Amino acid sequence: MSRMRIRALRFIGAALLALILLPGAAHADSQRSGDFIVYYSAISSTLITPAVAQANDLRRGTHIGLINIAVKRGRDPASAVPVPATVSGSVRNLSDQSTTLHFRAVSEPGAVYYLAEYPVSGIDTLRFDLRVQPAGGNVIPLSFNRDFDTD
């Protein structure tokens, strides 16, 4: 892999991980289950730069959301290490319309995270219901709501 490609991957990874790991940045949260920490973020895709979107084959738009999941193993968040996982689930709006989320893994040195796009329309509260299974661990159910305003 070329040096330029490696630098681009590191930049993209840092930008995406910042969205889920910085408290207060784009509604980032985490949930602990045993030795695992699941970090999650659901944002408007307009918050990612065009370069990050292009490099990860993501669409940007006011009616497109992006969910980002990362799993780490360890008791101390500062020293926890990334682990691969299987992530599945769905998102439901207030009108009870459900969309299955199709996650894809993004791996790079020192990080692995899972991305999925979903539709967002008008002013809505979306309910995310996920199943996260870290390698070597049990399924972790994860449910949360996010408010969106695309108007």
C-alpha 120 chain-centroid distance: 16
**Which CATH number characterizes residue 7's domain?**
2.60.40.3340
Percent of the chain with pLDDT over 90: 62
pTM: 0.81
Say whether pLDDT at 55 is over 70.
yes
pLDDT band at 3 (very low <50, low <70, confident <90, very high): low
Mean pLDDT of 23-37: 76
Average pLDDT over the chain, rounded to an integer:
85
* Domain count along the chain: 1
C-alpha 31 chain-centroid distance: 13
Outline where DSSP puts E strands in the chain.
Answer: 29-33, 36-44, 64-73, 81-82, 85-92, 98-101, 104-108, 111-119, 123-134, 140-149
Domain span at residue 67 reads 3-149
Tens digits of per-residue pLDDT, 59-96?
999 999 999 999 999 988 888 999 999 999 999 999 99
Cβ atoms of residues 146 and 115 within 8 Å: no
Tens digits of per-residue pLDDT, 118-127?
999 989 999 9
